[in-house]
Amino acid sequence: MTVKENPLDKYLRKEILPTTHCAGCGGGLVLNAFVRAIDDLKIPREAIIAVTGIGCSSWIPSPYLKVDTLHTTHGRPVAFATGVKVIQPEKKVVVIAGDGDLAGIGGNHLIHAARRNIGLSVFLVNNYIYGMTGGQVSATTPFGVITTTTPYTNPDHPLDIAGLVAVAGANYVARWTTFHMAPLINAMKHALQKNGCSFVEIVSQCPVSYGRRVEMRDGLAFMKHFKDNAVTVKQAMERSEEELEGKIVVGKLMERDRPEYSETLRRINEARNAEASSA
Amino acid sequence: MIEETEKTRRYLDGLSGKVRFFLGDEAAAYGALFAGCRFFGGYPITPASEVAETMARELPSVDGFFVQFEDEIGSIAAVIGASRAGAKSMTATSGPGFSLMQENIGYAVMTETPCVIVNVQRSGPSTGQATKPAQGDLYQARWGTHGDHEMIALSPNSVQECFDLIIDCFNLSERYRHPVIFLMDGEIGHLREKLVYPGRETVSLFQRGGADPADKPGLVRPMQEFGFGESIHITGSTHKENGMRDVTSRDVHEDLITRLYDKVDKNRENIVRFEERYMEDAEVAVVCYGATSRPALGAVKRAREEGIKAGYFRLITIWPFCERRMKEIGRQVKRILVPEMNLGQLAREIERFVGVPVHRVTKIGGVSHTVDEIYGALTGEAP
């Protein structure tokens, strides 16, 4: 029997697989969905620049994805990526990072990237917890959950980060879970093709640092939870806020066509230069 | 690497040889344009805002890009990202913003990404006297970010030097693949005086990507940029020569950090710049930098007129420190006077290399020294 090469291997640094993610982690599913999305779109890996932050989800692309990779400081990947995109606007500049990076410490950069509508594809892997540091409460941890830093239950309410990015001005915003692989891949493809800032929140599982707090100790329990609690955007519109408590609203939350930032900067430069040469 | 277009050439050649009456901040911005800076990320702050305003106005003329960020953390992050993507890049700030940038300055050190950070120093700590000049960030420029690292910092004392020296900052940054701090002060940043644009042919620029023959220890690796299909992996974590993360090996960490440290330390003599006058037979040396050097020179000249053997020594490169020359001065003079707009930061560093008394002539509160004050300290008389 001959072992055929997986057609997706070309996107991976195969020599360092398997990943260091824990058993049952959603990180591998996200990596899988992403390479399928770029393969479906026939985007060569030379055309992609991946930017990540700090934490488990940043280890999804770094170093396993075989593309130019900028593994940055905690919370700042969107800001680093903005500098990259302005200089290389023809590239697909992709940010894959977690709720700690993008909803917590670096939330402000995400808001302003959406406001500028810089052409980044941002994939936020939301596992509701700081996993790498041992299970501390994050900005998306549900109210009332016990974590290592909320030993008497979480007094904070979780942030609807996708909703925030939608009102901040991004051209495309969607949310799916690692259970919804086909629509997730489609949303990633849409995000990669959409001009302007696009954002997909991927609700993912951390059986080790989060699941043990909420009686979901393996990946399968999370799959079932995502399946049972997902509510489409359309269904959600007919329900009250109370009825949606604990549910995960999936689907496209926003689509619009504001001008992309690096293109706007180039138009400003051209106009300025036309003015200067006619003066 | 961003190619220079015909239009950019025309714009810069058009300025060559012209004379302007400029702020130090404006001169620094134009110097950056001459040095090839094509990306500026920044956030408004007194007394550095004029650098950003000038860059915002002029960068389109050289096909460059200005982005005002949501904060200084985002500014320096984007500057590093843009540098990796192929543009010489810089930001400008003052104390509070410089504090916010420290983590990512360390990232630039660790990832060997060239960039220039202008810090127009103002009174601190915290908000301090926002509109008043100071020189209190000497050690922050050196040790602001965590961990073992070297640093390169240069400091101008005139508007012309704001222009000339920032070009050196870019060249050092590219040559050694290291962030470089342009340590201005509010007085020089907001000083208005004559600037003569040099002829473009006289400005030599270090082109990234090549080996540097002057790097004798051979510790600087050629710069790789994004976008060439090389699947470059850049990380602020400890990494091997191929860029791959390895955070558990003692050897990998020691090799990396030692090389990053040594590439500046062992090239110290190529980086250190200073100016000295009347030092040949000096018995007392006035050691200074930045705005303070101007009254210091006045005081030394007056002392010479009075027959006092005073010498003037101005640091242009603050970091790495001019250790060798300072040791020589320590052997030559009987005492050293250090006027500075802080409570004795430069004096403290000098004391590490000399055995003679080091007299602090400190002044804080946003008011610069007068010639009388420094002269008084030289002669032992109160001004």
Nearest-angstrom CA–CA distance, A270 and A35: 36
| N residues, chain A | 279
Q: What is the pLDDT of residue B245?
A: 95
- The closest CB to that of B61, out of A13, A112, A276, belongs to A276
Which chain A residue has its CA at the smallest distance from B233's CA?
A: A69
Nearest CA in chain B to A261: B67
Q: Tell me the pLDDT tens digit for each residue of B287-328.
A: 999 999 999 999 999 999 999 999 999 999 999 999 999 999
Q: How far is A96 from chain B (nearest CA, A)?
A: 15
The nearest alpha carbon in chain B to A13 belongs to B231
- Report pLDDT digits (tens) over A235-250: 999 999 999 999 999 9
- DSSP-derived letter for residue B344 is S
Residues forming a β-bridge with A201: A124, A175
pTM, two decimal places: 0.97
Q: Which residues in chain A have Cβ-Cβ distances shorter than 8 Å to B84?
A: 70, 83-84
Cross-chain Cβ contact A72/B79 below 8 Å: no
The proportion of chain A whose per-residue pLDDT surpasses 70, expressed as a percent, equals 99
- Name the minimum distance, in Å, from the CA of A265 to any CA of chain B: 7
Query: Could you give the CA distance from residue A14 to residue B128 in angstroms, rounded to a whole number?
Result: 53
Among A99, A165, A123, which Cα is nearest to A37's? A123
How near does any CA of chain A get to the CA of B368, in Å? 38
In contact, B66 and B55? CB cutoff 8 Å: yes
Nearest Cα of chain B lies from the Cα of A69 at a distance, in angstroms, of: 5
Structure tokens at A107: 């939330």
Q: What percent of chain B has pLDDT over 90?
A: 92
- Of the residues B37, B115, B234, the best mutation for testing chain A's interface (the one with the most A CB atoms within 10 Å of its CB) is B234
Question: Inter-chain contact B227–A91, Cβ cutoff 8 Å?
Answer: yes
Q: ipTM for the complex? A: 0.97
> Quick check: A83 and B81 CB within 8 A?
yes
Q: Which tens digit of pLDDT belongs to each residue from B190-215?
A: 999 999 999 999 999 998 877 777 77
Structure-token pair, residue A170: 């991004």
Confidence band of B383 (pLDDT split at 50, 70, 90)? very low
Query: Does B234 contact A70 at a Cβ distance shorter than 8 Å?
Result: yes
Q: How many angstroms away from the CA of B97 is the closest CA of chain A?
A: 16
Judging contacts by C-beta atoms under 8 Å, the chain B residues touching residue A70 are 81, 84, 226, 234
Beta carbons of A84 and B244 less than 8 Å apart: no
Q: Which of A87, A110, A263 to mutate to test the interface with B (most CBs of B within 10 A)?
A: A87
Closest-CA residue of A relative to B227 is A46
Q: Is A90 exposed, middle or buried (0-12, 13-18, 19+ CB in 10 A)?
A: exposed
Given this model, what pLDDT does residue A277 score?
Answer: 80
Residues 6+ apart with CB under 8 A from B330: B336, B353, B354, B355, B356
Q: Do B226 and A91 touch (CB under 8 A)?
A: yes
